[in-house]
Amino acid sequence: MLSLEDVRVSYGGVQAVRGVSLAMREGQVVGLVGANGAGKTSVLNAITGLVPRRGRVSFRGEDLEGLKTADIVRRGMVQVAQGRQLFPEMTVLENLELGAFLLPPADVPELREKMFVRFPILKDRAAQQAGTLSGGEQQMLAMARALMGRPRALLVDEPCLGLSPKMVGVLGDFIRQVNAEGISVMVVEQNTAFVFGLAHHAYVIENGQVALDGHPDELRRDDRVRSAYLGI
Ligand code: ATP
């Protein structure tokens, strides 16, 4: 469904991504783990066209070269940015409905109701400013907003950041549910245990490169992964 070949990203003289190749098959959850500054966000931003890149990215058989981010969203790929990036002074409902900006307005009420069934808290708080929600609720709203665009692939950047362990569990269940509905999910996280509990395949990113990849069960047996990323 999604493949990267020799993707490179530079910021001025800093090479943040140095020839990353990876793949996500239809229906998979794929994890990208790594330390602070390893280049994970830059990989996601390179996929969705938010930063200039070299190398090849293809999505559902199509080369994304030259496409703008909005065109990529139209093709069914939606990114949930690190830090949620909600509009804090707009209401929960307004933020939610923004996610459907490419869909016919007639489709919005049904999608909105679906999100309210999935996240009753968003219905209760529909008229409240998004900035007043808790971190966990904001993450849920950011995910719900992304789903309003009916994506085929969801790219989620550091969803666990700042969440309580209980909320991390809720988030994990939610990602499993979304995936069970047929949406492929790429998750970028420093919380390696979280990703290993969800992913069908994971990539360890170090210094802008793929250092290791495999099924989480396989990676859990690797001594380097155990000590550097799982703390065991
Ligand atoms: P984190 O987990 O801290 O978000 P990350 O693995 O997602 O880290 P990136 O955010 O992709 O890593 O950053 C990779 C490298 O690129 C870092 O050294 C970072 O300082 C640098 N970098 C990222 N964005 C920019 C930018 N806009 N301008 C200059 N350097 C940047």
pLDDT 10s digits, 21-79: 999 999 999 999 999 899 999 999 999 999 999 999 999 999 999 999 999 999 999 99
Give the Å distance between the CA of 157 and the centre of ligand 1. 13
Residues with a CB atom less than 6 Å from ligand 1? 11, 14, 16, 34, 36-42, 190
Q: How many angstroms separate the alpha carbon of residue 209 from the centre of ligand 1? A: 13
Backbone angles phi, psi at 111, to 5 degrees: -65, -40
pLDDT digits (tens, 9 = 90+) for 125-160: 999 999 999 888 999 999 999 999 999 999 999 999
Query: For all residues of the chain together, what is the average pLDDT?
Result: 94
Segment 99-121 shows an average pLDDT of: 91
pLDDT at 83: 81
> What's the per-residue H, E or C state across the chain?
CEEEEEEEEEECCEEEEEEEEEEECCCCEEEEECCCCCCHHHHHHHHCCCCCCEEEEEECCEECCCCCHHHHHHCCEEEECCCCCCCCCCEHHHHHHHCCCCCCHHHHHHHHHHHHHHCHHHHHCCCCEHHHCCHHHHHHHHHHHHHCCCCCEEEEECCCCCCCHHHHHHHHHHHHHHHHCCCEEEEEECCHHHHHCCCCEEEEEECCEEEEEECHHHHHCCHHHHHHHHCC
Q: Tell me: the pLDDT tens digits for 152-174?
A: 999 999 999 888 899 899 999 99
Which residue out of 10, 36, 40, 156 has the highest number of ligand 1 atoms within 8 Å of its CB and is therefore the one to mutate?
40
Residue to mutate, 8, 10, 14, 20, ligand 1, most ligand atoms under 8 Å from C-beta:
14
Query: Does the pLDDT value for residue 232 go beyond 90?
Result: no
Q: Residue 227's pLDDT band (boundaries 50, 70, 90)? A: confident
Residue 1 pLDDT exceeds 80: yes
pTM: 0.93
- Nearest Cα residue to 156 out of 41, 42, 60, 59: 41
More confident residue, 136 or 83: 136
Between CA 182 and CA 164 the distance in angstroms is 28
What's the pLDDT at 224? 86
Ligand 1 centroid vs 22 CA: distance in angstroms? 19
The class of domain 2-76+151-228 in CATH terms is: alpha beta
Please tell me the least confidently modeled range out of 32-36, 89-93, 161-165, 195-199.
Answer: 161-165
Cα distances (angstroms) measured from residue 91 to each of 86, 122, 127, 128: 10, 10, 5, 5
Amino acid occupying residue 86: L
**Pairing between strand 153-157 and 77-80?**
parallel
pLDDT on residue 183: 97
Given a cut of 90, is residue 225 above it in pLDDT? no
The pLDDT, as a whole number, for residue 84 is 86
Ligand 1 centroid distance, CA of 105 (Å): 37
Distance between first and last Cα of the chain? 34
The segment(s) of the chain belonging to CATH 3.40.50.300 are 2-76+151-228
